[in-house]
């Protein structure tokens, strides 16, 4: 453990916060959210746990901010991916399929984002103060609005339903990610009993099909 020196300027505090976030991100490259502990994070950062808590009030607060950072990066990358993958001359139905394929492929490459999304409501939004919760929710609302704007840009037929599609997309990703990573006991059960194979989910294929169905349904409900 290194000797703690208090960050005295705003710049020094920002640097230390980034160091904590970068370390947590590196840990999530190795293990799921459930395996990231504040004790291990503190050890890797080189600070006592009490000093890490000077910058983030809890492990969950660290991970919520990391989720926001990963979410914003994804939203920044998404416009160019959609522009390349969705044909503006195609029918609405085909654009819906293309949109689902682009989103799914981009999410499949972002394991940390999907893992954090799957843990958001059940884990990350607990053990945080109302102030941290509100700050995260405001950022999440802004992000969902950006996603809805992208959906409407490529599927203008959806109109205001783009906000529903954006919200349901995030719920779908989190739910499927959880089910696509079964426990060792479930994997053993699948291997022992082939009749259970239908219950096993593959993330990318399942999400693509569910999003395509979601968009198709939203288009049908929007049609006169």
pLDDT > 90? residue 74? yes
Per-residue model confidence as pLDDT tens digits over 125-161: 999 999 999 999 999 999 999 999 999 999 999 999 9
pLDDT given at position 2 = 46
User: Burial letters for 109-134: b for 16+ Cβ neighbours within 10 Å, e otherwise?
Assistant: ebbbbbbbbbbbeebbeeebeeebbe
User: Topology of domain 1-56, per CATH?
Assistant: Arc Repressor Mutant, subunit A (1.10.10)
Q: Do the Cβ atoms of 144 and 78 come closer than 8 Å?
A: no
Rounded alpha-carbon distances, angstroms, from residue 153 to 55, 81, 96, 140: 39, 13, 12, 20
In this predicted structure, the answer to whether residue 4 has a pLDDT above a threshold of 60 is no
Residue 56 CB neighbour total at 10 angstroms: 22
> What mean pLDDT do residues 52-62 have?
94
Query: Rounded mean pLDDT of 84-103?
Result: 97
What percent of the chain shows pLDDT beyond 70? 96
List of residues 6+ apart from 170 with CB closer than 8 A: 117, 144, 147
Mind listing the pLDDT tens digit for each residue in 164-186? 999 999 999 999 999 999 889 98
Alpha carbon distance 90, 170 (integer Å): 25
- On whether the CB atoms of residues 68 and 140 are closer than 8 A, the answer is yes
Domain regions of the chain by residue span = 1-56, 58-222
Q: Which helix H or strand E contains 120, and what residues bound it?
A: none
Q: Looking at the domain that runs over 58-222, which CATH code has it been given?
A: 1.10.357.10
């Amino acid at each position: 453990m290194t000797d703690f020196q208090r960050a005295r300027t705003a710049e020094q505090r920002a640097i230390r916060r980034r160091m904590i976030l970068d370390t947590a991100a590196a840990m999530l490259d190795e293990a799921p959210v459930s395996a990231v502990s504040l004790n291990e994070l503190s050890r890797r950062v080189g600070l006592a746990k009490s000093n890490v808590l000077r910058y983030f009030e809890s492990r969950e607060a660290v991970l919520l901010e990391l989720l926001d950072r990963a979410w914003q990066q994804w939203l920044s990358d998404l416009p160019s991916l959609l522009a390349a993958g969705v044909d503006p001359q195609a029918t609405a139905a085909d654009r819906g399929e293309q949109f689902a394929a682009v989103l799914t492929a981009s999410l499949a490459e972002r394991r940390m984002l999907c893992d954090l999304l799957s843990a958001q409501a059940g884990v990350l939004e607990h053990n945080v103060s109302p102030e941290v919760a509100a700050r995260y929710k405001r950022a999440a609302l802004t992000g969902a609005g950006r996603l809805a704007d992208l959906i409407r840009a490529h599927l203008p037929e959806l109109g205001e339903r783009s906000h529903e599609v954006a919200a349901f997309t995030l719920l779908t990703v989190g739910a499927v990610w959880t089910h696509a990573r079964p426990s060792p006991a479930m994997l053993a059960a699948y291997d022992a009993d082939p009749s259970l194979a239908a219950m096993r989910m593959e993330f990318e294929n399942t999400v693509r099909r569910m999003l395509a169905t979601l968009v198709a349904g939203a288009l049908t409900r929007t049609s006169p």
